[in-house]
Amino acid sequence: MVEDLSEDAAVSDAVQRGAYVFRAAGCHSCHTDTKGGGAPLAGGRALKTPFGTFYSPNITPHPVYGIGAWSDEDFEAALRHGVSPDGDPYYPSFPYTSYTGMSDEDIADLQAYLFAQEPVETQNKPHDLDFPYSLRFTLGLWKTMFFEAGAYQEDDQKDAAWNRGAYLTRHLGHCGECHSPRGFLGAVDDSLELAGNPEGPDGGKVPNLTPAENGLAGWSESDIAGALKIGITPEGDFLGDSMGEVIEHGTSHLSDDDLTAIAIYLKSLPANSGP
């Protein structure tokens, strides 16, 4: 009896921590078809690219239509290695290239949270990709060239806040997926990390987050934290577009300490005026 109770408590703690990880990792936007009135996490959101349209899958714990039948190992393999339970590689439109750095605890807590959500009976829609992008197996080679799996390793030359900021920015928050430019073969050039993306996901510019003149040079740490909390910029403008979604479903729910940690990390980057 007593044992059961404490087990329940442990599970509910994990679910609570997982809810926070879920926000910080911004899983909601891509996996919910808000425009089409879809249920939370039931997938079906169209992610359009010039090479075809991805439809995000159902990640509710439905045993048939969602991921309810997955083992812990299956879930970890998806986030850390970008591999499905059948052993197929995922497309990097699922940003496991960033999530690979998540800690074991965060992955386990996130899974506990997802498995505590309502299962939804919505069938996955197949992606509508042009040839040859439609050939999933070809991704294997790309992955061997550009993807390295592994949890974030703390830099012990830096303090705890900086490390937390690096972890949130580079891995959980996957900020670079939008804010870093892509080189010739689609991989991020490390020397241009977060230096802005002239050809962002919407075809427009995504701003430079390094402390360069055309970036965040004029922003204080509290300016950055304020932008992530409510969207305000130092000029009195309010961020919108895809960043509006990141703020609404993600960063506005983070603790002030975590927002400051992100700001500390961004301010520590070498100023880089970008590509």
Partner 1 sequence: MLRKSILAAGACAVAAGAVLMSNSVVPTSHASDLQVADAHEMAAVKQRQQTMKDVGGNMKIIAEFVKASKGSAAEASAAAAKIGELATSIPEIFEVKATLEQMDTVGKNRSKPEIWSDWDGFLERGKVLEDEAAKMAAVLNSGDAGTIQAQFATFGKEGCGGCHTTYRGPET
Query: Does position 56 bind ligand HEC by CB under 6 A?
Result: yes
- Is 133 one of the binding residues for ligand HEC (CB under 6 A)? no
Strands 52-55 and 46-49, sheet pairing: antiparallel
Q: Does residue number 238 form part of the binding site for ligand HEC (CB under 6 A)? A: yes
Shortest spacing between CB 75 and partner 1, in angstroms: 21
The reply to whether 30 sits near ligand HEC by the rule CB under 6 A is yes
194 Cβ contact partners less than 8 Å away, ≥ 6 residues apart: 169, 175, 176, 179, 180, 208, 209, 210, 266, 269
Residues paired with 238 in a beta bridge: 232
For 243, half-sphere exposure in the C-beta direction (CA atoms, 13 angstrom radius) is 20
Q: Contacting ligand HEC (CB under 6 A), which of 15, 192, 262, 269? A: 262
Q: How far apart are CA 135 and CA 18, in angstroms?
A: 34
**Given the rule CB under 6 A, which of 7-15, 140-148, 149-157, 174-182 is the region that contacts ligand HEC?**
174-182
Whose Cβ is closer to partner 1: residue 93's or residue 124's? 93
Binders of ligand HEC: how many residues, by CB under 6 A?
Answer: 47
Contact footprint for partner 1 (CB under 8 A): 30, 46-51, 91-93, 95, 97, 132-133, 135, 137-143, 145-146, 177-178, 182, 184-187, 199-207, 222, 226, 229-232, 235-242, 244-245, 247-248, 252
Beta-sheet strands, E only, within 17-147: 46-49, 52-55, 128-129
Residue 39 C-beta: closest distance to partner 1, Å: 20
* Spatial distance between the Cα atoms of 150 and 167, rounded to a whole number of angstroms: 12
Per CB under 6 A, the segment of 3-11, 49-57, 152-160, 184-192 that binds ligand HEC is 49-57
Contact 107, 79 (CB under 8 A): yes
Question: And the tokens for 57?
Answer: 């899958």
177 counts as binding ligand HEC under rule CB under 6 A: yes
